[in-house]
Amino acid sequence: MRRAMFFWVFICVFAWGVASAADTPMKVGFVYVSPIGDAGWSYAHDQGRLNIEAMDGVTTSFVEAVPEGPDSERVMLNMARKNYSLIFATSYGYMDPMLKVAKQFPDIVFMHCSGFKTAKNMGNYFGRMYQARYLSGMVAGAMTKSKILGYVAAFPIPEVIRGINAFALGAQSVNSDVKVRVVWTKTWYDPATEKEAAKSLLDVGADVIAQHQDSPAPQEAAQEKGVYSVGYNSDMSKFAPKSHLCAPIWNWSSFYKEMVEKVQNGTWKNKSYWYGLEHGIVDITPMGSMVPKAVQKRVLAKKDEIASGKAKVFVGPIKDQSGKLRIAKDTPADDQELLGMTWFVEGVVGTTQ
Amino acid sequence: MFKFIIKKRQAPLVWSSCLVFFGALVLSLAVSAIMLALQNKPPLTAMVLLFNGAFGSLLAIQDCLIKAVPIFLCSLGVAIAFRLQIWNIGAEGQYVLGAIGATWVALRFPDLPWFVVLPGMLATAFIAGGLWGLIPAVLKLYMRANEIIVTLMFNYLAILFLDYLVYGPWKDPVSFGFPMTREFSTSAIVGKIGHTQLNWGILLCIFSGVAIWIFFKYTRLGYELKASGENIKAARYAGLPYHRLVMLVLFLSGALAGWAGFLEASSTINRLQPSIVVGYGYTAIVVAWLARLNPVSIGIASFLLAGLRVGLEHLQLDLQVPAAFGGIMEGLILLTVLAGSFFVDYRVSLGKKS
């Protein structure tokens, strides 16, 4: 019992010390939806975090695997209470909780990834991943023999639907009658479910597996079957070296650096940042050696065109699954249309419900 | 030669059982501390952080109370069913149905004043959750379907139904296609108490806890329930209405989980969205057993478990301990405490081998 008393006294004294400690460097907090792991969405963000951790006068920290409800609100609230001056929340479901916290702490800068709401001290950001998806679709379209591409996808939300559409358009641009079959897992991160979904696609004849998931499990399923795969988030070639054609990837480092600098020198604004290939925030990995040189050349040429603004991914005529014309001839879709995309392009097999 | 003699205790332990509980807690914390030390994290600082983050300030305690509300209500619900030895694994689905019921009222009558809307949501959540519990009861009684399987399956059904609603008919037209309903009107939101972070849902918890306690302690029906739970055959022989009791407990069980869903949707998220489902229904089962089905202990256990989860976030933030460590620590604590409860029921002494 005495030992227990000693313990509590110690705790109280220590608590006092912790609470009264002051700090000078700028604290930057990150909220991740999944464990950082070694390849996925949160991993890519964390690579960006590590880069700003190396900056002078900046310390960073994170909380991983935070559910997208009230839990995330509390996590952000506690970052704010602990005097973090810039907070990045990296999942769509953190939008409303972040908005609530932002209202309570007007002096802290909040940045939300992949949403659409802003406040005086809250901006949002994302990357035009669909551009890189289009390029990966070109690779997949050139490599398929069965003309069926499998796509393991998380949730039927615009971000994912946009990616699938871009992938399908890319594939169709090199191989006109390719079909993309979609399976929803309703989870961002669940290796077992992702792998099962990939296997179900292999069973219906898909010979390239692409994914909008955070684990490399679909890659492994493809390699086991001896077919090709397209990764996501970060270079997944180490998980399936024989299958991995390429991967559309995120490079958050320079963007996070830019934001930290803007907050430091007071030029930050509550904008919506939506950078693309031109900024390097999205990219594709070097293509595997199984991809013929001619294909690689063609894909890289397209990448330059998109990056320089000469070409766009969603330019009409684009029809939806029912054959209805959604984007008129020679007109590019505007950002609002892209952000609210809830329909599949022609050639995608699956439903957006 | 000596050997251990294990005997069931005749008189239940009262205060010493607290000692057993804290002993188990300290043991698991010690093991956690060793694991932290192995990761080169300062174990003592970590324990202080954990405690501070959970209970170290008024704000922290409020955080824990908010987090404890849904766990408490779900757990109280399953504990009622467990009393009758009815294994309701379906609190998760009943919670979802409660949220759906409440949301229906909130979306259907956005313009009515709060004193109409909130009671309406309360009632619909109660009924929706309750009915979701009642169906497995009916299937069990009349079709001999195992309630463990049925209630578990009903969780998946409920979650799929929720998905259908938020991806389909209830989708917010201005959400850019994201799966969520419109935000509730202010009259459908359970407000905060004064300037605190707490909402009035706490009152509902206290009311439910006290009501259930009185129900078991002072009412005839409560007594019948307890008696039937001890021995079903004897109870039937004594003419107790077993069928009615099963339906009653599963309805009440579901209704309480439904209230948890209502509060979560109304007070903390302010709308219905898939991320409302975070496993409280399953946590509730563990909490109910930890608390040995006693309403007061359920309150304490929910609060402590909420505290642990909140505190672990601080551990992550300040020491960058991986999230998985939180899961390990929670498992350790539950394991030692449940194992420790063995010593509450049994006396272990050293005796001579004859």
Mind listing the pLDDT tens digit for each residue in A193-222?
999 999 999 999 999 999 999 999 999 999
Residues whose CB is less than 8 angstroms from the CB of residue A287 and which lie 6 or more positions away in sequence, other chains included = A139, A245, A246, A295, A296, A299
pLDDT at site B22 = 87
Contact B67, B309 (CB under 8 A): yes
Beta strands of chain B (E only): which ranges?
2-8, 346-352
Q: Which long-range contacts (CB under 8 A, 24 or more apart) does A259-266 make?
A: A259/A86, A259/A88, A259/A111, A259/A125, A260/A26, A260/A28, A260/A52, A260/A55, A260/A58, A260/A86, A263/A26, A263/A85, A263/A86, A263/A109, A264/A26, A264/A57
* pLDDT, tens only, B178-231: 788 999 999 999 989 988 889 999 999 999 999 999 999 999 999 988 888 888
B290 falls in which pLDDT band (50, 70, 90)? confident
Chain A contact set for B271 (CB, 8 A): 96
Position B32 pLDDT exceeds 70: yes
Chain A contact set for B195 (CB, 8 A): none
Question: Sign of dihedral through CA atoms A167, A168, A170, A171?
Answer: positive
Residues whose CB is less than 8 angstroms from the CB of residue A2 and which lie 6 or more positions away in sequence, other chains included = none
Residues whose CB is less than 8 angstroms from the CB of residue A95 and which lie 6 or more positions away in sequence, other chains included = A89, A112, A115, A116, A117, A124
Position A149 pLDDT exceeds 90: yes
Q: Looking at chain A, which residue has its C-alpha nearest residue B172?
A: A340
Which residues 115-134 in chain A show a CB within 8 A of chain B? 116
Q: Among A15, A63, A156, whose Cβ lies nearest the Cβ of B316? A: A63
Tell me if residue B235 falls in helix, strand or coil. helix
pLDDT at site B121 = 97
A136 falls in which pLDDT band (50, 70, 90)? very high
Q: Among B51, B270, B320, whose Cβ lies nearest the Cβ of A11? A: B51
Contact B269 A96 (CB under 8 A): yes
How far is B236 from chain A, CA to nearest CA, in Å? 45
Contact A179, A349 (CB under 8 A): yes
Q: Looking at chain B, which residue has its C-alpha nearest residue A91?
A: B275
Please state, for a pLDDT cut of 70, what percent of chain A lies above it: 93
Q: Looking at chain B, which residue has its C-alpha nearest residue A342?
A: B177
Contact B177 A161 (CB under 8 A): yes
Average pLDDT, chain B: 91
Record the tokens describing residue A11, joined without a space.
């705790």
Residues whose CB is less than 8 angstroms from the CB of residue B198 and which lie 6 or more positions away in sequence, other chains included = B62, B65, B66, B192
Residues whose CB is less than 8 angstroms from the CB of residue A67 and which lie 6 or more positions away in sequence, other chains included = B275, B278
* Distance, CA of B77 to CA of B198 (rounded, Å): 22
pLDDT at site B7 = 81
With an 8 Å Cβ cutoff, is B99 touching chain A? no
pLDDT at site A1 = 47
Fold assignment, B42-320? ABC transporter involved in vitamin B12 uptake, BtuC (1.10.3470)
To 5 degrees, how large is the angle CA A129–CA A134–CA A138?
Answer: 145
Q: Which of residues B174 and A72 earns the better pLDDT score?
A: A72
Chain B contact set for A101 (CB, 8 A): none
With an 8 Å Cβ cutoff, is B323 touching chain A? yes
Substitution target in A11, A32, A341 with the highest count of B β-carbons within 10 Å is: A11
Question: Sign of dihedral through CA atoms B218, B220, B225, B228?
Answer: positive
Contact A34, A42 (CB under 8 A): yes
Residues whose CB is less than 8 angstroms from the CB of residue A243 and which lie 6 or more positions away in sequence, other chains included = A209, A219, A222, A223, A226, A227, A228, A229
Q: Among B183, B264, B317, whose Cβ lies nearest the Cβ of A78? A: B317
Q: Looking at chain A, which residue has its C-alpha nearest residue B66?
A: A70
Tell me if residue B237 falls in helix, strand or coil. helix
pLDDT at site B21 = 84
Chain B contact set for A11 (CB, 8 A): 47-48, 51-52
Q: Among A74, A92, A342, whose Cβ lies nearest the Cβ of B63? A: A74
pLDDT at site A10 = 53
* Distance, CA of A284 to CA of B5 (rounded, Å): 68
Contact B310 A157 (CB under 8 A): no
pTM of the model: 0.88
Contact A341 B177 (CB under 8 A): yes
With an 8 Å Cβ cutoff, is B331 touching chain A? no
Closest CA relative to residue B289, chosen from B339, B324, B326: B339
Write the single-letter amino acid at B303.
Answer: F
Closest CA relative to residue A61, chosen from B71, B322, B159: B322
Tell me if residue B41 falls in helix, strand or coil. coil
Contact B275 A92 (CB under 8 A): no
How far is B170 from chain A, CA to nearest CA, in Å? 13
pLDDT at site A6 = 54
State the average pLDDT over residues A162-177: 96
Q: Among A93, A161, A342, whose Cβ lies nearest the Cβ of B275? A: A93
pLDDT at site A20 = 44
* Distance, CA of A251 to CA of A257 (rounded, Å): 11
With an 8 Å Cβ cutoff, is A18 touching chain B? yes
Position B71 pLDDT exceeds 60: yes
Total count of residues recorded for chain A: 353
pLDDT at site A4 = 56
Position A353 pLDDT exceeds 80: no
* pLDDT, tens only, A81-97: 999 999 999 998 899 99
B96 falls in which pLDDT band (50, 70, 90)? very high
* Distance, CA of A273 to CA of A127 (rounded, Å): 8
Which residues 48-77 in chain A show a CB within 8 A of chain B? 61-71, 73-75, 77
With an 8 Å Cβ cutoff, is B12 touching chain A? no
Q: Among B275, B322, B324, whose Cβ lies nearest the Cβ of A68? A: B275
Contact B317 A70 (CB under 8 A): no
How far is B172 from chain A, CA to nearest CA, in Å? 12
Substitution target in B45, B175, B275 with the highest count of A β-carbons within 10 Å is: B275
State the average pLDDT over residues A58-74: 93
Sequential DSSP letters for B159-200:
HHHHHHHHHTTT--TTSTT-S-PPPPPGGGS--B-TTSS-BT
Contact B323 A64 (CB under 8 A): yes
Q: Which of residues B349 and A143 earns the better pLDDT score?
A: A143
For residue A289, the 8-state DSSP code is T
Domain ranges of chain B: 42-320
* Distance, CA of A211 to CA of A193 (rounded, Å): 12
Average pLDDT, chain A: 91
Q: Is A129 exposed, middle or buried (0-12, 13-18, 19+ CB in 10 A)?
A: buried
List C-alpha distances in Å: A137 to A171, A243, A275, B43.
4, 15, 20, 49
Tell me if residue A353 falls in helix, strand or coil. coil
pLDDT at site A21 = 44
Contact A96 B177 (CB under 8 A): no
* Distance, CA of B127 to CA of A235 (rounded, Å): 50
State the average pLDDT over residues B4-18: 76
pLDDT at site A23 = 47
Position B177 pLDDT exceeds 90: no
Structural domains of chain A, ranges and CATH numbers in brackets: 22-127+252-277 (3.40.50.2300), 129-247+285-349 (3.40.50.2300)
pLDDT at site B178 = 78
Q: Looking at chain A, which residue has its C-alpha nearest residue B266?
A: A70
Chain B contact set for A96 (CB, 8 A): 183, 269-271
Write the single-letter amino acid at A151.
Answer: Y
Contact B323 A18 (CB under 8 A): no
* pLDDT, tens only, A107-135: 999 999 988 889 999 999 999 999 999 99
